[in-house]
Amino acid sequence: MIVVISGSPGTGKTAVSLALSKLTGMDYLHVSSFVLEKGLYVKYDEARSSYEIDDETVAQELEKFLKDRKNIVIETVYPSLINNADRVVVLRRDPRRLFEELSQRGWSKLKIVENVEAEILGYVSTEAKEWFGKVCEIDTTNLSVDQVVGKIMNETCDHDIDWLDRQDIQELLFYLDKIIN
Ligand SMILES: Nc1ncnc2c1ncn2[C@@H]1O[C@H](COP(=O)(O)OP(=O)(O)O)[C@@H](O)[C@H]1O
Ligand SMILES: [Mg+2]
């Protein structure tokens, strides 16, 4: 079984993937580490302290790597790098809490703002839905890691997460735009 755990940075992918892999005995693959180890990046983006990748190359290498693996939990910010999955989970987190979480990572303002905006607008979620059709979204904001893992196991998913329904999040988006522009 291939389980993809996706979501914006800071939503809890690593914590949840590791706990799920420990509980089920499934292997764990961190796509960013895979890209770095295999030197699959094309350039380094100074402003964002991140590596740019060629999607096609990475997707192909992942497909090769996954061919002989039966049970694995894959953590990735980019769901469309994975060609086959039995289950796709997208973790979501209240953008205000995400802003606090990412501010503790020592990232540049630009990188923090871009990632919080991505969560507000649901980029990863949209990509996952377009790529896989059916995904299980879980709002991790007020849950423990074990509770999130429990929801994944029981397939108890959250529906219609749209942060922009909230006035305070619309205000946050406005504020974030002002910080970087
Ligand atoms: N319910 C939860 N699910 C997952 N992570 C959580 C949860 N609550 C708090 N965290 C914490 O959130 C932080 C960010 O999680 P992390 O797994 O690094 O996210 P990501 O891999 O998506 O960037 C970690 O300190 C993690 O322990
Ligand atoms: Mg992670």
- Domain definitions of the chain by residue range: 2-95+123-161
Q: What is the Å distance from ligand 2's center to 9 Cα? A: 7
What beta strand segments (E) does the chain contain?
Answer: 2-7, 27-30, 41-45, 50-53, 72-76, 87-92, 136-139
Summarised one tens digit per residue, pLDDT across range 28-48 is 999 999 999 999 999 988 888
Query: Closest Cα to atom 8, ligand 1: which residue?
Result: 144
Question: In the predicted model, what is the mean pLDDT of residues 47-56?
Answer: 89
Q: What is the pTM of this model?
A: 0.96
- Going by alpha carbons, the residue nearest to atom 5 of ligand 1 is 12
Name residues with Cβ closer than 5 Å to ligand 2, which is an ion: 13-14
**Sign of the alpha-carbon torsion through 48, 52, 6, 69:** negative
Read off the amino acid at residue 84: N
- The CATH homologous superfamily for domain 2-95+123-161 is P-loop containing nucleotide triphosphate hydrolases (3.40.50.300)
Q: What is the mean pLDDT of residues 122-133?
A: 98
The CB-side HSE value for 32 (13 A sphere, CA atoms) comes to 12
Q: Is the pLDDT of residue 146 over 90?
A: yes
Ligand nearest 12 Cα, by number?
1
**Res 14: pLDDT:** 98
> If you average pLDDT over residues 58-73, what whole number do you get?
96
Which ligand places an atom closest to the C-alpha of 152?
Answer: 1
Token pair, residue 36, equals 């770095």
103-115: average pLDDT: 95
